[in-house]
C-alpha cells in the first residue's frame, strides 16, 4: 500500500498552506504540532500555528444568556502551548522566504512508513544563488516528549554563508474564528510564562494556566553540524522579549551543506511533578542516543503498527492512499497513556477545542480493538478514570443514581454549553458501555472487566433506570433525550438511544453472570453494592424497552414525534445553505423531518438483531432521502449498513465520500483539523461493511461483498491474541492464521477452523 503522501507547490497559496498545516502535522498522541512553515507567513495570512499537549487544558467561562439551575458556566479547552518550530534561514545575506526570490520547486511529504514529514525546496535568491533545503520533522513514538526538526541547507551554485536564527516562543495564544461554532470564538491567552531561563545550551520555559493552574514546560536545544558531521558553534542569547533566540552559521562551498538539529521537549503537570527535571532528563537521554536512534525506533514502531493493521486495496491507488492516511492519523491522534483520549480533531488543530466526544468509543476505538487492543484498553482506562465526575454530572442533571458521561470533555466535566444537542445526548452512556463490551468480546480480557468494565456497565445501567419509566402499556420509555442526529433534539424514545440502552442493560446482567461463573461475584457485589433485585430490574427494563415501529410505513421511526413533522425540501435548498446548522436556527431545524447524520441507521449496524432485514431496508431507504450528511460521521455508517443490506453500489458511493474526506478535503474544512471519527468509520466501512466482519459473543464471521471497481482487498485483525489475515478478491475469500492457536470462524455462515500456517479458501458468493 502507498504509505507516502506528497504535495508539490509552485508558489505560495494561503488556502493551500492552511490545509497543509493539517495534512502534514506531526503527532504521537501526547504532543501534536501543526505543519506550519518554519519561516512563518506574512502578517494577515491565515495560519493556525499550534503545538498541543493531549489532556492539557485551561478552564474558561461559558457565557449563558440566562443562567438557569446547574447550567454549564465554564468549560475546559485545549491550549496552544509554545512555538518551537520557528527557524529562519539566511542565504548569503538574504532571508529565505517563499514569497521572495524564486521557488524552483517545493514538495511536502508525509512518510507513513518512517513516521516523519519532510519539506524539500529548491530556492533561488534575488541575486541568483540557489539552495536546496531539506526539512525533516518527527514527533517520537519512543520518546513521547520529543519533537525534532532537522534543517539541512545545500549551496547548489555558489560558495557562501548560511545562517540560522532559531527561536523558542512560549508566549502564544490560541487560534480563533468567531464565524465557525466548531472553533473558539475568541483568541485565548490562558497560559502565562512563569519562568524562562537558559540551562547551558538549552532554553527552558515553564508556563501556568490561568484557572486550572496546570503547568507545562518546553525545552529547546539546537545543534549545528558541518558537512563532515562535526559540531559548529551555536550562540544562545538571553531571553529577548519572551523569546529564546539561537543563532548559528557556517560557510559552505559550492555543493556543500550544513544542517541544524532542533530538539523540542515537553512535559506537563498532569503527568509529571518535576517538569524541569523531566525535560532535562529526556534531553540527556536523547543526546546520548542521538537523533538517528529515534529515527530508527520510529521506523520500527511504524513497521509493527502496519504489521497488525495492514490493509491494501487492489485496483484503486487513490483509495489506498486515503485509507493508509486515515489509519496513520488515528495512530497519531490516540493517547498513549490513561490521562487523555482522542479529540475530535486529534492533535492536528483546535476544532472543537480539543474535546473528546462519543466519537472515540463508537467510531475510533473499534479500529484499535481489532488492531492494537492495548491502545483501546488505555482509552477505556481514561473513561473509567472519569467515572466519579460522570456521577457528579448525573446529580447536576437531577439523577439520584448512576453516572452520565459528558457530551464533550477533557477531564470528565461537561463542556457543552448547548445542552439541547449536548448534555441531552444520553446515548453517550451506552456508546461507552458498548466500547467496553466490544473490547471484552474481542479480547476475552475478563480481568479488565472485573477491574473497571463491570463498574461502568453498572453505573450506566443505573442511569437508564433513573431516567426511564414505564408507560400505560408497560413499555420502558426514555424521554427528553437527543439521539445521534443533532437536527432532531429533545425527543421521547429515540430509537437509537433505546436500542443502545437495551444492549447496555442486558450486558450489565450478562457480565455479572460471567464474573459470577468465574468466582468474582462476591467481591464485585460488595464493591458495587449489586443486588439480585437490581439486576432483575435491568433485565425487565431491557425486555420492555420501547423500540418504535410504524406499521403503515414498515419502518422504525427515529422517535415518537418524528413522522408527525413535515419533510424538509432538500432538493430545493440552495447548495450554499449546507451545512444547514450554519444557516438555519436550531428550532427551525427541529420542526422538520431532516437528519444531520445517521441515527436509526446507525442502530442497524450496532444492534442489527433487533429488527428483521426488510424493516431495516425500508428504514434505510426512508432516512436516506432526508439525511444531509452534514456530519462527517454519517456517510461511513450508511456505507456499512448498505453493504449489509446488499446495496453494493450505494455502499461504495457512501464509502468514497467518507474515505477521502480529509486527504482530498471534500468538506473544505480539513484546514481546521482532521476528522478522526470519520477515519475510524472509514476503517469500519471496509472491515465491517465490505468484508462483512462481525465480532459477536459466539465468535467471528465474514460475509464479504467486493466493490465492483476493486480487484480485491486484504486486511489483518487481532482477535483474542491471534493475528488473522483476510484476503478477498472477485473469486474467493482466503483467511490465514498468522499468529496464535487455532481459531474457528464462519465464512458465509459456514464454520471453518483456522490453523497456523494453513490457508482457508472459500468461493465468493453472489
Residues noted as catalytic: 486
4: which 3 cell numbers? Answer: 507516502
Residue with grid cell 442489527, as numbered in its chain: 608
345: which 3 cell numbers? Answer: 480533531
721: which 3 cell numbers? Answer: 491474541
577: which 3 cell numbers? Answer: 445553505
Angstrom distance (rounded) from CA 695 to CA 690: 15
DSSP states of 645-706: TT-HHHHHHHHHHHHTTTTTTTTS-GGG---HHHHHHHHHIIIIIIS--EEETTEEEE----
Angle between helices 613-624 and 634-644 (to 10 degrees): 140
Angstrom distance (rounded) from CA 182 to CA 535: 41
Angstrom distance (rounded) from CA 295 to CA 291: 6
Q: Are 152 and 258 in contact (CB under 8 A)?
A: yes
β-strand 160-168 against 94-95: which pairing, if any? Answer: unpaired
| Cα dihedral 439, 444, 449, 452 sign | negative
597: which 3 cell numbers? Answer: 447524520
Angstrom distance (rounded) from CA 726 to CA 352: 37
82: which 3 cell numbers? Answer: 509554545
Angstrom distance (rounded) from CA 684 to CA 641: 11
Q: DSSP 3-state assignment of 106?
A: strand
How buried is 585 (Cβ within 10 angstroms: 0-12 exposed, 13-18 middle, 19+ buried)? exposed
Angstrom distance (rounded) from CA 531 to CA 515: 14
Q: How many CB atoms lie within 10 A of CB 383?
A: 23
182: which 3 cell numbers? Answer: 466548531
Consecutive H or E run containing 8: strand 4-9
Cis omega (within 30 of 0) for bond into 164: no
Residues 6+ apart with CB under 8 A from 115: 138, 141, 298, 299, 301, 302
Residue with grid cell 442493560, as numbered in its chain: 505
Angstrom distance (rounded) from CA 551 to CA 103: 67
Cis omega (within 30 of 0) for bond into 579: yes
Residues 6+ apart with CB under 8 A from 549: 555, 556, 557, 615
Residues 6+ apart with CB under 8 A from 234: 201, 222, 223, 224, 246, 247, 248
> What backbone torsions phi and psi does residue 350 show, to the nearest 5 degrees?
-100, 10
Instruction: Tell me the C-alpha to C-alpha distance, in Å, between residue 685 and each of 386, 553, 714.
Output: 30, 28, 14
Angstrom distance (rounded) from CA 654 to CA 641: 10
Distance of CA 40 to the CA centre of its chain: 27
Angstrom distance (rounded) from CA 641 to CA 604: 7
Residues 6+ apart with CB under 8 A from 243: 167, 168, 169, 171
Instruction: Mark 67-78 as b/e (b = at least 16 C-beta within 10 Å).
Output: eeeeebeebbbb
> What backbone torsions phi and psi does residue 44 show, to the nearest 5 degrees?
95, -15
Angstrom distance (rounded) from CA 149 to CA 439: 37
Q: Are 284 and 146 in contact (CB under 8 A)?
A: no
Amino acid at each position: 500500500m502507498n504509505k507516502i503522501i506528497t504535495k508539490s507547490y509552485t508558489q505560495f497559496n494561503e488556502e493551500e498552506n492552511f490545509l497543509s498545516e493539517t495534512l502534514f502535522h506531526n503527532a504521537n498522541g501526547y504532543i501534536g504540532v501543526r505543519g506550519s512553515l518554519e519561516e512563518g507567513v506574512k502578517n494577515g495570512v491565515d495560519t493556525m500555528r499550534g503545538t498541543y499537549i493531549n489532556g492539557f487544558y485551561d478552564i474558561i467561562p461559558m457565557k449563558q444568556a440566562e443562567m438557569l439551575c446547574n447550567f454549564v458556566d465554564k468549560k475546559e479547552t485545549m491550549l496552544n502551548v509554545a512555538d518551537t518550530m520557528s527557524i529562519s534561514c539566511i542565504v548569503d545575506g538574504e532571508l529565505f522566504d517563499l514569497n521572495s526570490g524564486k521557488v524552483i520547486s517545493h514538495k511536502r511529504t508525509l512518510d507513513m512508513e518512517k513516521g516523519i514529514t519532510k519539506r524539500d525546496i529548491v530556492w533561488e535568491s534575488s541575486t541568483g544563488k540557489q539552495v536546496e533545503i531539506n526539512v525533516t520533522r518527527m514527533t517520537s513514538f519512543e520518546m513521547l516528549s520529543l519533537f525534532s526538526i532537522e534543517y539541512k541547507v545545500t549551496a547548489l551554485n555558489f560558495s557562501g554563508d548560511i545562517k540560522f536564527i532559531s527561536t523558542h516562543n512560549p508566549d502564544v495564544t490560541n487560534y480563533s474564528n468567531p464565524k465557525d461554532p466548531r472553533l473558539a470564538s475568541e483568541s485565548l491567552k490562558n497560559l502565562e510564562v512563569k519562568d524562562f531561563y537558559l540551562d547551558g545550551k538549552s532554553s527552558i520555559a515553564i508556563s501556568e494556566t490561568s484557572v486550572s493552574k496546570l503547568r507545562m514546560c518546553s525545552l529547546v536545544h539546537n545543534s549545528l553540524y558541518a558537512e563532515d558531521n562535526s559540531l559548529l558553534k551555536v550562540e544562545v542569547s538571553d531571553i529577548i522579549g519572551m523569546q529564546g533566540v539561537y543563532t548559528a552559521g557556517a560557510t559552505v562551498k559550492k555543493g556543500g551543506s550544513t544542517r541544524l538539529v532542533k530538539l523540542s521537549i515537553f512535559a506537563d503537570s498532569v503527568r509529571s511533578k518535576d517538569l524541569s527535571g523531566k525535560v532535562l532528563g529526556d534531553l540527556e537521554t536523547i543526546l546520548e542516543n542521538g537523533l538517528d536512534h529515534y529515527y530508527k525506533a520510529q521506523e520500527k514502531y511504524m513497521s509493527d503498527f502496519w504489521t497488525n493493521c495492514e490493509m491494501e486495496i487492489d485496483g484503486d491507488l487513490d483509495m489506498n492512499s486515503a485509507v493508509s492516511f486515515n489509519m496513520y492519523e488515528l495512530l497519531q491522534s490516540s493517547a498513549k497513556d490513561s490521562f487523555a483520549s482522542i479529540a475530535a480533531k486529534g492533535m492536528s488543530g483546535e476544532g472543537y477545542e480539543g474535546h473528546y466526544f462519543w466519537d472515540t468509543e463508537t467510531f475510533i476505538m473499534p479500529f484499535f480493538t481489532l488492531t492494537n487492543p492495548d491502545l483501546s484498553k488505555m482509552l477505556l482506562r481514561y473513561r473509567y478514570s472519569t467515572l466519579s465526575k460522570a456521577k457528579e454530572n448525573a446529580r447536576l442533571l437531577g439523577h439520584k443514581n448512576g453516572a452520565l458521561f459528558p457530551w464533550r470533555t477533557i477531564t470528565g466535566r461537561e463542556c457543552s454549553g448547548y445542552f439541547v444537542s449536548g448534555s441531552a445526548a444520553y446515548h453517550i452512556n451506552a456508546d461507552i458501555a458498548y466500547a467496553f463490551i466490544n473490547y471484552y468480546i474481542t479480547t476475552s480480557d475478563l480481568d479488565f472487566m472485573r477491574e473497571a468494565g463491570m463498574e461502568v456497565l453498572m453505573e450506566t445501567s443505573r442511569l437508564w433506570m433513573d431516567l426511564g419509566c414505564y408507560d400505560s402499556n408497560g413499555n420502558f420509555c426514555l424521554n427528553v433525550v437527543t439521539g445521534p442526529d443533532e437536527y432532531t433534539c429533545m425527543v421521547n424514545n429515540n430509537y437509537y438511544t433505546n436500542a443502545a440502552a437495551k444492549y447496555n442493560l442486558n450486558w450489565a446482567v450478562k457480565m455479572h453472570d460471567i464474573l459470577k461463573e468465574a468466582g468474582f461475584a462476591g467481591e464485585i457485589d460488595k464493591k458495587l453494592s449489586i443486588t439480585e433485585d437490581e439486576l432483575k430490574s435491568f433485565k425487565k427494563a431491557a425486555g420492555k424497552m420501547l423500540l418504535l415501529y410504524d406499521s403503515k410505513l414498515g419502518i422504525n421511526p427515529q422517535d415518537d414525534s418524528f413522522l408527525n413533522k413535515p419533510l424538509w425540501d432538500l432538493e430545493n435548498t440552495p447548495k450554499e445553505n449546507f451545512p444547514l446548522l450554519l444557516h438555519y436556527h436550531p428550532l427551525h431545524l427541529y420542526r422538520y423531518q431532516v437528519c444531520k447524520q445517521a441515527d436509526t441507521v446507525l442502530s442497524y449496524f450496532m444492534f442489527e438483531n433487533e429488527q428483521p432485514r426488510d424493516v431495516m431496508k425500508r428504514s434505510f431507504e426512508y432516512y436516506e432521502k432526508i439525511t444531509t450528511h452534514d456530519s462527517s460521521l454519517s456517510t461511513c455508517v450508511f456505507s456499512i449498513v448498505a453493504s449489509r443490506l446488499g446495496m453494493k453500489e450505494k455502499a461504495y458511493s457512501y464509502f468514497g465520500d467518507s474515505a477521502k474526506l480529509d486527504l482530498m478535503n471534500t468538506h473544505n474544512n480539513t484546514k481546521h483539523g482532521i476528522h478522526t471519527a470519520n477515519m475510524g468509520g472509514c476503517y469500519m466501512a471496509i472491515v465491517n461493511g465490505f468484508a462483512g466482519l462481525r465480532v459477536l459473543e459466539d465468535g467471528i464471521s465474514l460475509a464479504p461483498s467486493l466493490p465492483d471497481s476493486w480487484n480485491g482487498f486484504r486486511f489483518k485483525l487481532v482477535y483474542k491474541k491471534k493475528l488473522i489475515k483476510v484476503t478477498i478478491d472477485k473469486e474467493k475469500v482466503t483467511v490465514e492464521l498468522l499468529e496464535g492457536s487455532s481459531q474457528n470462524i464462519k465464512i458465509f455462515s459456514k464454520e471453518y477452523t483456522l490453523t497456523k500456517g494453513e490457508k482457508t479458501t472459500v468461493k465468493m458468493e453472489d
